[in-house]
Amino acid sequence: AQSVTQPDIHITVSEGASLELRCNYSYGATPYLFWYVQSPGQGLQLLLKYFSGDTLVQGIKGFEAEFKRSQSSFNLRKPSVHWSDAAEYFCAVGRGQNFVFGPGTRLSVLP
Amino acid sequence: EAGVAQSPRYKIIEKRQSVAFWCNPISGHATLYWYQQILGQGPKLLIQFQNNGVVDDSQLPKDRFSAERLKGVDSTLKIQPAKLEDSAVYLCASSLGPPTGMGGYTFGSGTRLTVV
The average pLDDT across B60-75 equals 93
User: Which of A31, A42, A102 has its CB closest to that of B42?
Assistant: A102
The average pLDDT across B54-60 equals 92
B91 vs A34: CB contact, 8 Å cut-off? no
User: Which of B42, B100, B109 has its CB closest to that of A42?
Assistant: B109
Residues linked to residue B100 through DSSP beta bridges, in sequence order: none
Over 90: is that where the pLDDT of A9 sits? yes
pLDDT band (50, 70, 90) for residue B32? very high
**Residue A48 to chain B, least CA–CA distance (Å):** 10
Q: Which residues of B touch A31 (CB under 8 A)?
A: 100
Listing DSSP states for A74-109 in one string gives EEEEESS--GGG-EEEEEEEEETTEEEE---EEEEE
Q: CB within 8 A of A109, min separation 6: which ones?
A: A12, A13, A14, A15, A81, A82, A83, A85, A86
**Residue A81 to chain B, least CA–CA distance (Å):** 23
**Residue B46 to chain A, least CA–CA distance (Å):** 12
Over 60: is that where the pLDDT of B15 sits? yes
Q: Which SS3 state, helix, strand or coil, does residue A71 take?
A: helix
Q: How many CB pairs under 8 A join A and B?
A: 55
- Test mutation, B100, B102, B111, chain A, max A CBs within 10 A: B100
pLDDT for B73-106, tens place per residue? Answer: 999 999 999 999 999 999 999 988 766 665 667 8
Q: Is A30 on the interface with B (CB under 8 A)?
A: no
- Show which of residues 55-94 on chain A sit within 8 Å of chain B, judged by CB atoms: 90, 92, 94
Q: Residue B18 in contact with residue B26, Cβ under 8 Å?
A: no
